Amino acid sequence: MRILVVMNFGPDPATPQRGRWVVDQVEALRAGGIEAELFTFQPGKDQYLPATRRIRRLLREQSFDLVHAHYGLAGWCALIAGADPLIVTFHGTDVRHPVVGPSSRLLSRRLALSAGASAALFGQEAGRAGLPLLPGRTAVLPCGADLSRFGPKPRREARRALGLDPDRRYLLFPADPNRPEKRFDRAEEVAARAGVELLTGGGIQPEEMVDWINAADAVLVTSEYEGFGLICLESLACEVPLLTTPVGIAPDVAGSLPNSLCAGFDPQRWSDFATNLLADPDPRTPGRAAAEALSARRMAARVRIAYEEVLGRHGGGTVSTGEFGNDGQIR
């Protein structure tokens, strides 16, 4: 099977981790025997027409069984370039954005398979509409986490590697503070109330993320919405406690774990939870098994099934609608 994967969310110097989840999925697909070519271009309105032309050239010059685009605008480029059959996985902002969201919902009706990175993308979240449920043409296809890169490390060792004080207490806000939907203001308030230092992400190199997670006493995901929430899996794979709003996959993976909190944001409740957690000199949460259920390897196996269904039924059949269970399976 030969697949062209298209995305317009690759890394840049300011956000070196951006799009890593798609790269991880492509690598897992290749490890599973699929010949996958990755075509990446940067976001920006001046990029879409040249990218569409390059995709059209690729489709004319090479033979692919199907095209799998990630993010709505990349999906439009692939569709206009003539991709058929076309699968698009939507990841969050492309669904919730006030301008791009409506175009993503329109695009989803023109696809062989419309996929969400989590089931949350098919419902309302923070007052923003989700993707339509299209009988026979809807699935949940997470990218998953490459857990070979993430696991528990001694906190003092991780802090020394980053030049942090081994004896201080830290909370980690792993996102770019400038992204308003991530709600950095909430994380600041929790850290201030708990009286601890707040570390922030945004410019962390992918190979360093495991140290930043393990260096923290807990990770804060204070988002208004998330399409998936990869950092939840990475944190739990490291067995680092997680305080998260109930967005993306968080309710499925963190909802019942000891030493982790999945709840609507309330400054008092969150800061009290963090304060109690920090009473433990080395707090951990048993989250590895929950993260393993959504590993990149397992999710790539599900994506392969979706490919086979689309190819087997393209031209007159239907594709099974999927629901996302807390064991990481599609039902």
239: alpha, beta or left? (left if phi > 0; alpha if psi -120 to 50): left
More confident position, 252 or 159: 159
Give the model's pLDDT for residue 41.
92
Q: What is the mean pLDDT of residues 126-153?
A: 89
Where residue 12 falls among pLDDT bands split at 50, 70, 90?
A: low
**The pLDDT value given to residue 281:** 93
| pLDDT single digits (tens) 70-83 | 999 999 999 999 99
pLDDT score at 83: 97
Measured distance CA(225)–CA(120) in Å, rounded: 9
Note the pLDDT tens digit of each residue in 209-232.
999 999 999 999 999 988 788 899
CA distance 211 to 215: 6
Report residue 324's pLDDT band, with 50, 70 and 90 as the boundaries: very low
Statement: 2-144+295-313 belongs to CATH 3.20.20.10: no
The domain spans of the chain are 2-144+295-313, 147-292
Predicted TM-score (pTM) of this structure: 0.76
| 200, amino acid identity | T
Specify whether the CB–CB gap between 73 and 48 falls below 8 A: yes
Tell me the average pLDDT across 320-330. Answer: 38
DSSP string for 2-45: EEEEEES---BTTBTTTTHHHHHHHHHHHHTT-EEEEEE---ST
> For 180-191, what is each residue's pLDDT tens digit?
999 999 999 999
Stretch 242-262: mean pLDDT, rounded?
92
- CATH of 147-292 given 3.30.1360.230, 3.90.480.20, 1.10.10.10, 3.40.50.2000: 3.40.50.2000
Q: Fold match between 2-144+295-313 and 147-292?
A: yes
The answer to whether the CB of 306 falls within 8 A of the CB of 139 is yes
